[in-house]
Structure 1
């Protein structure tokens, strides 16, 4: 049973982290060749379409990680704070939960807000892209916190 949970955990993690990184490093640079309004509409649609899948993958990662812990080495609350594994497990769970919440409720909403503000896209189309670029830079900064959470989780899972 633990092997199946581990497999689901890893696949969901790849879909969650890999999917988001593919959007940022693959899809976004590729659509920059489209006219400005097509970029806006394309990215708005892809974000709305993929958001539920990313959220489900993140929830699956957290749930399977939790189940592997309580079905394995974590056999009591005192173990969480007195053993190396318990501290690692509770830290990973906390960082994963914070990352999921941040991505779903802060990063995603900030990006949708920028994508939905037609005025900044119209200004960029008329030759005044400064506000759009600044808004996208703000969203990139906000979303980088989710990326930091991913890096911390990968570090905890692989290095430690």
Structure 2
């Protein structure tokens, strides 16, 4: 019963974490493109500041519930981490999940906020010179894509196990 509840929380938190970020990337951001440049900046800055804590909590919840399901289930002894197939995949998933969360929380998010608060690139774009803004967005997308790669690997590991 407890493992079923942990699994349910794990899945819901995963949907909120991964799905929420993907919705912002593929749904909200493209919709903001119809706004004037400085409005885009203001909206995205507020959205990121508002949603960051929720995404971080969802990611932490995914990792904690995954950890608890592992130690409460198949990986119930230390040596099982390194001697069983499942233990090796479980520790790999834990490490990748932690790295993905840390990357998104401390590197991707901060890069996005830095880009959104660089006034000069937004003012230049507003005056008809968007090149520096586009370059900055591509740079942030590249940095943030590492978090997406972590999500992809985690989902792949779940399907393999």
Q: TM-score range by the shorter chain?
A: over 0.9
TM-score, normalised relative to structure 1: 0.99
Query: When the two structures are aligned, how many residues end up with a matched partner?
Result: 160
Moved over 6 A (4+): none
| 3-state DSSP of counterpart to 1:77 | coil
C-alpha RMSD of the superposition: 0.5
2:83 is the alignment partner of 1:82 = yes
Offset, 1:76: 1.4
Q: Which residue of 2 aligns with 1:136?
A: 137
Offset of residue 77 of structure 1:
1.4
Shift of 1:83: 0.3
Alignment partners' CA distance in 2, 1:12 and 1:70: 19
Any gaps of 5 or more consecutive residues in structure 2?
none
Query: Which residue pairs with 2:102 in the alignment?
Result: 101
Gaps of 5+ in 1: none
Residue 50 of structure 1, CA deviation: 0.1
The answer on 1:151 being equivalent to 2:152 is yes
Q: 1:94: Cα distance to partner? A: 0.3
Alignment-derived partner of residue 68 in structure 2: 67
Q: Residues of 1 paired with 2:122 and 2:11: CA distance? A: 38
Aligned to 2:30: 29
The CA distance in 1 between the partners of 2:48 and 2:102, in whole Å, is: 16
Counterpart in 2 of 1:121? 122
Cα distance in 2 for partners of 1:159, 1:127 equals 49
Shift of 1:127: 0.8
SS in structure 2 of the partner of residue 138 of structure 1: helix
- Find the aligned partners of 2:31 and 2:160 in 1 and give their Cα distance: 33
Normalising to structure 2: TM-score of the pair? 0.98
Q: Report the secondary structure of 1:81's partner residue.
A: helix
Residue 112 (structure 1) shift: 0.2
